[in-house]
Structure 1
Amino acid sequence: MEKHTNVVYRETQRPRQILWWVLILLPATFMWYWFIQQIINGVPVGNKPAPDVVTIIFWAIFGIVFPVFMLGLSKLIIEVLNDGLYIRFVPFHFKYKQYLFKDIRHYESITYSPLKRFGGWGTRINFKGEMVYNINGKKGIELRLRNNTVVVGTRKPDELKKALELVQRTQ
């Protein structure tokens, strides 16, 4: 993981919505049930049960790896550095996505509906070509760039805006 120096502002968000947890844990629970029934108890699951190897592979992926990645490792990192705003959605982005001040025409603190405007949470693009990075909540900073609009979900929109203003004033 690359580390940034001269970080003026940093926020790390983790998923908190119940729906997120349910969508991850429901299939994981079924995989554990399937694994325990078929491998441990020796009772095949379904009319045409999968071979034990397939059961073990699916259990390992969707019962262990997927929940750990999605619930344990998922986080949105927002940083303001001297040259711009940096965003990384772990584990999906391997590098920070950078929005340099020279490319930002305007920014403002907003309240928005992630479902209505973007169809949900995560990294998304809507029909207008606007992009969002959010993990929960409905507050954010809207960046108007030269060619498009980017919304960054944050729990602290006023602090993020102040950090952006502070860095731009010192340039």
Structure 2
Amino acid sequence: MLGKTSAMYKETQHFRQPWLWVLLLGSLALVIYRWQPISVGIMAVVMGLFWFLRLETRIDQEGIAYRWFPFQSAYRVIKWSQIEQATVRSYSALGEFGGWGIRFSWNGTAHTVSGNWGIDIKLKGKKRTLLVGTQHPDEIRQQIGSEQLAGS
């Protein structure tokens, strides 16, 4: 059995979508062209945040954990004992949640960076679900399947 600190699975996702960076660089070019120094500064900060912001996911014997670095220093851990069901599913970020990032809908909360795969987590006693995006659905399926059996 793994120790509490050893992770069985780790994933880090960055905002590196070309369309996003075209939009950000285009906005920066526009404010530079119009030379609005405050706006240039704001755009530089926003671009820096998008460059360094990342969603980190960890699955281990304790449960499923995630954090948004650099805003969260500690992981938010969802223990196996709190989880009623965890499945990997495809989703539509725009259709179901209105976009990427930390999003709220009537059905639940999503933490996504890109793509259309996520870990859909149903917590015991809760109606709404939590979705954490992933770029590696097959690896997650293997981890969730074995850990949920061991963690129940």
TM over 0.5: yes
CA distance in 2, matches of 1:161, 1:73: 28
CA distance in 2, matches of 1:26, 1:92: 26
Structure 1 residue 10: deviation in Å?
A: 0.3
Amino acid at match of 1:78: T
The reply on whether 1:151 has 2:135 as its aligned counterpart is no
Structure 1 residue 16: deviation in Å?
A: 3.4
CA deviations 1:103-140 (Å, max 9, x no partner) are 11011121111111111111111123x11111101111
Could you list the runs of 5+ residues in structure 1 that have no partner in the other structure?
36-54
Aligned position for 2:79: 100
| Runs of 4+ deviating beyond 6 Å | none
Aligned counterpart in structure 1 of residue 143 of structure 2, from 147, 154, 163: 163
Aligned position for 1:7: 7
Aligned position for 2:47: 67
Match runs of 1:22-171 below 5 Å: 22-35=22-35, 55-62=36-43, 64-70=44-50, 72-128=51-107, 130-146=108-124, 147=126, 148-171=128-151
CA deviations 1:3-43 (Å, max 9, x no partner) are x93111001111233332233222222233234xxxxxxxx
Structure 1 residue 143: deviation in Å?
A: 1.0
CA distance in 2, matches of 1:104, 1:161: 15
Amino acid at match of 2:38: I
CA deviations 1:142-166 (Å, max 9, x no partner) are 1111213111111111211212233
Q: CA RMSD in A?
A: 2.0
Amino acid at match of 2:115: G
Structure 1 residue 94: deviation in Å?
A: 4.1
Q: How many residues align?
A: 146
Q: TM-score, normalised by structure 1?
A: 0.75
**Cα distance, 1:144–1:135 mapped onto 2, change above 3 Å:** same
Could you list the runs of 5+ residues in structure 2 that have no partner in the other structure?
none
Higher mean displacement: 86-95 or 134-143: 86-95
Note if contact 2:65-2:76 (Cα within 8 Å) is conserved in structure 1: yes
Please identify the structure whose Cα radius of gyration is greater.
Answer: 1
CA distance in 2, matches of 1:133, 1:158: 19
CA deviations 1:56-82 (Å, max 9, x no partner) are 3332232x2221211x20211111122
Aligned position for 1:39: none
Identity of aligned residues (%): 29
CA distance in 1, matches of 2:116, 2:122: 18
